[in-house]
Structure 1
Amino acid sequence: MSGNSTIRDVVIIGGGPAGLTAALYLKRLGLDPLVIERSLPGGKLNEVPIIENYPGVEPVKGLELASRFLKQVQDLGVEIWYPEEVVDVSNVGGFWCVKTSGGKCVLAYALIIATGAERVRGTIRGEFEFLGRGISYCAVCDGPLYRGKVVAVVGCGEKAIKEAQYLTTIASKVYLVLEKVDEVTEAYLRRLGHVPNLEVIEGRVEEVRGRDRVEKIVVRPIDGSIKEIDVSGVFIARAEVPNTAIFRKIGINVDDRGFIIVDRSQRTNIEGVFAAGDVTGRGFQVVVACGDGAVAALSAYRYVIARRREVVRRDNVFELRVNDKVAYLRYRVEGRKLIIESVYVPEEFRGLGIGKRLVLEAAKYALSTGLSIQCECDYAKYIVEKYLRVSSD
């Protein structure tokens, strides 16, 4: 597509498992989603040697599963821009304007943020060489491969401790090499207590060694000595860094780690913006990301359908029909006043801005006919005073 703006139903930023699942659902629901991915569709799946915990699928290479995801959405006609990086997001006239590094621009009713999180990697000699051959970044995914074997967990903080704790239920011995031990880490270790097959070492792993697979690690404890420890696997448990910088500019709420805060419907604090997958800091599993993507798609679908519908005024009611449901605002006119009595939105469509839209339509009608506005409904009063900055008493 050219750089000219065009309006889409939903723009999905990120083409990993969450983003591609969202695209699949939206397309099947009859909407027109666009996926923008900065590298390869499939995201971190492309780097995973083997996936063994995806329901209904035999063990499969991550790259192969990513290819299947991509083919499935492309067969449905979903448009994907890649490699294309989103560099700016803003709200223009009630639509979301998304600009890319390639000079493209697209407007959308709704956004789904599925930009994932980046691992801090590559600080240990041999880390890349043994990826998939004894090096792993996910204990839940790959831990069962090391049942009864000796493994090491390398990292810091709660993430590393939890990975090590999980692996003690599988491996015969777990070495937990903590790169930094602060008061918070010490508190986690105290709560963990004594675990017979867990040994904690404060220090750093200098190198991973082996022939065809990982065979040992070279550790430098804080006393400066050097140890060689025989292990079959190394789990690197460093923090994930979410890709959320450009979204903070539009006011998206994030937690203290930078992950986007969402509700159970994958809604953010901003109307029309949803988030799914690792960017929300939950799960860090392919199947979890796919589930998030499906939920975000269903929520975005309801939002877009509601936005497309016209508000109709009849018999002292403003109403908006979505499928077989009706949202409405009741009012009456007394003298030169339009009095808003109540606002109702079906439960499954709450949080999508429908109530606000009804109130603003009623207010616009009142002002266009020379009527003042009075609200008997607290919600309507809040909307009028916040968005129109006029008194509704």
Structure 2
Amino acid sequence: MIKDYDVIIIGGGPAGLTAALYLARNNVKVAFVEYYAPGGKLIEQSAIENYPGFSNVSGIDLATSMYNQAIQNGAKMIFGKVKELDLKKSEKIVTLENGDIYSCKYILIATGMKNLVPEQVENIEKFRGKGVSYCVVCDGALFKNEVCGIIGGGNSAFEEGFYLSKIAKEVHIFVRDEIIAEQKIQDDVKNQKNIFVYKNATVQKLNGTNSLESADVNIAGKIKNFKIKGLFPYIGFKPATSFIKDIEILDAKGFIKVNEDYETTVSNVFAIGDVVSKKIRQITTATNDGTIAAKTINQRIS
């Protein structure tokens, strides 16, 4: 049975939840589809210090507030993963992997980005869930008083390394090229005595029998073995647009092209948040996108 909505939002991160709030407050029948958790990747951030109104807030707390506000105003959540879209007619069709089908007049794609996997690391997939994780907030507690590693030199790597240092015995951060984390975050890490940062360091191989036991790391041309129980790669992201097929709305990198109203070249199909082709990706820019797209749809429906 096909279930009807005015608007279906694909993704429940900051962009999607903001759009859901604005649409629901206008009495639009709106639902957002989320397969991970309300808030999306926002819940993986241990501490957020640059969201206006909050000097320091956890990603989980901010995501929960956004979710509750959207739901309290009438938005619905659909738990599932989108398999395919049919956007050829005015009535848009959304099919989930579990077989459920939904129809709507407007679609907002807010799927964000997915973690890049360091595929050059031997055995990286072998130890996924057995020592390798992409979420310190989710799995950090499993490594209490253990030695862990982080791959990456950006904000995420250093922020989550700092968070992990309060749980683990030691945290070793392996930076392949230059450190690009903000200076304040670098200072926090530098002042934490159980964090060790290695530049020009490339993790080459993971070792272990049933779970991760050690990692071979090339540091400035010399191989060193680190006895670690947990490894968290934070090397970047890619757009979550693999479900978009036969629609020419993607740029060369897989991001979605939109106009100033965040509408794609397909009528009544919008894209918002980190999945959009743009220069800056922040929580604040995601909520901005959701606001503009939702207000545009509200004007068309009125």
More off after superposition, 137-146 vs 269-278: 137-146
**After the TM superposition, which residues 47-86 of structure 1 pair with which residues of structure 2 at under 5 Å, given as runs?**
47-82=44-79, 84-86=80-82
Q: Which residue of 2 aligns with 1:302?
A: 299
The question of whether the paired residues in 2 share the 8 Å contact of 1:139 and 1:235 is answered with no
The question of whether the paired residues in 2 share the 8 Å contact of 1:85 and 1:101 is answered with yes
Structure 1 residue 98: deviation in Å? 1.1
Q: 1:257 & 1:226 partners in 2: Cα distance?
A: 35
Q: 1:62 & 1:121 partners in 2: Cα distance?
A: 22
Q: Which residue of 2 aligns with 1:101?
A: 97
What's the C-alpha RMSD, in Å, of the aligned pairs?
3.9
Query: Which deviations, in whole Å up to 9, do the C-alpha atoms of 1:87-108 show, x marking residues without a partner?
Result: 1211364211112223322221
**Aligned-partner SS, 2:111:** coil
One-letter amino acid of the structure 2 residue matched with residue 226 of structure 1: K
One-letter amino acid of the structure 2 residue matched with residue 100 of structure 1: L
**Aligned-partner SS, 1:301:** helix
TM-score by length of 1: 0.55
Q: 2:24 & 2:290 partners in 1: Cα distance?
A: 13
Query: Are 2:38 and 1:17 aligned?
Result: no
Identity, % of aligned pairs? 29
Query: Which deviations, in whole Å up to 9, do the C-alpha atoms of 1:163-220 show, x marking residues without a partner?
Result: x245468647x9xxxxxxxxxxxxxxxxxxxxxxx9852633667xxxxxxxxx9631
Query: Are 2:260 and 1:260 aligned?
Result: no
Q: Which residue of 1 aligns with 2:175?
A: 154
**Aligned-partner SS, 1:248:** coil
Q: Which residue of 1 aligns with 2:39?
A: 42
Asked which structure has the greater RCO (Cα within 8 Å, sep 6+), the reply is: 2
The question of whether the paired residues in 2 share the 8 Å contact of 1:267 and 1:299 is answered with no
Q: 2:256 & 2:272 partners in 1: Cα distance?
A: 9
Q: Which residue of 2 aligns with 1:201?
A: 200
One-letter amino acid of the structure 2 residue matched with residue 154 of structure 1: V
Q: 1:106 & 1:97 partners in 2: Cα distance?
A: 6
Q: Which residue of 2 aligns with 1:247?
A: 244
Q: 1:271 & 1:65 partners in 2: Cα distance?
A: 32
Structure 1 residue 4: deviation in Å? 2.6
TM-score by length of 2: 0.69
**1:219 corresponds to which of 213, 217, 220:** 217
One-letter amino acid of the structure 2 residue matched with residue 75 of structure 1: Q
Query: Are 2:298 and 1:293 aligned?
Result: no
Q: 1:169 & 1:50 partners in 2: Cα distance?
A: 13
**After the TM superposition, which residues 1-393 of structure 1 pair with which residues of structure 2 at under 5 Å, given as runs?**
3-6=1-4, 8-82=5-79, 84-91=80-87, 93-121=89-117, 123=124, 128=133, 131=136, 135=150, 139-140=154-155, 152=173, 154=175, 161=178, 164-167=179-182, 171=186, 201=200, 203-204=202-203, 219-221=217-219, 223=221, 225-226=223-224, 236-249=233-246, 251-282=247-278, 283-305=280-302
Structure 1 residue 276: deviation in Å? 0.8
Q: 1:49 & 1:252 partners in 2: Cα distance?
A: 37
Structure 1 residue 260: deviation in Å? 0.9
Q: 2:133 & 2:232 partners in 1: Cα distance?
A: 13
**Aligned-partner SS, 2:16:** helix
Query: Which deviations, in whole Å up to 9, do the C-alpha atoms of 1:140-160 show, x marking residues without a partner?
Result: 4686897xxx995636xxxx6
Q: 2:21 & 2:174 partners in 1: Cα distance?
A: 37
Q: Which residue of 2 aligns with 1:190?
A: none
Cα 1:66–1:255 change in 2 (3 A) is same
Q: 1:136 & 1:18 partners in 2: Cα distance?
A: 28
Query: Which deviations, in whole Å up to 9, do the C-alpha atoms of 1:94-138 show, x marking residues without a partner?
Result: 211112223322221111000111102484996649925785878
Structure 1 residue 21: deviation in Å? 0.6
Structure 2: runs of 5+ lacking an equivalent: 119-123, 141-148, 163-170, 190-196, 207-214
More helix by share: 1
Cα 1:101–1:236 change in 2 (3 A) is closer
Structure 1 residue 73: deviation in Å? 0.9
**Aligned-partner SS, 1:25:** helix
Structure 1: runs of 5+ lacking an equivalent: 175-197, 208-216, 229-233, 306-393
Q: 2:69 & 2:114 partners in 1: Cα distance?
A: 25
Q: 1:100 & 1:165 partners in 2: Cα distance?
A: 38
The question of whether the paired residues in 1 share the 8 Å contact of 2:258 and 2:277 is answered with no
One-letter amino acid of the structure 2 residue matched with residue 131 of structure 1: V
Structure having the higher Rg: 1
Q: Which residue of 2 aligns with 1:330?
A: none
Q: 1:129 & 1:115 partners in 2: Cα distance?
A: 17
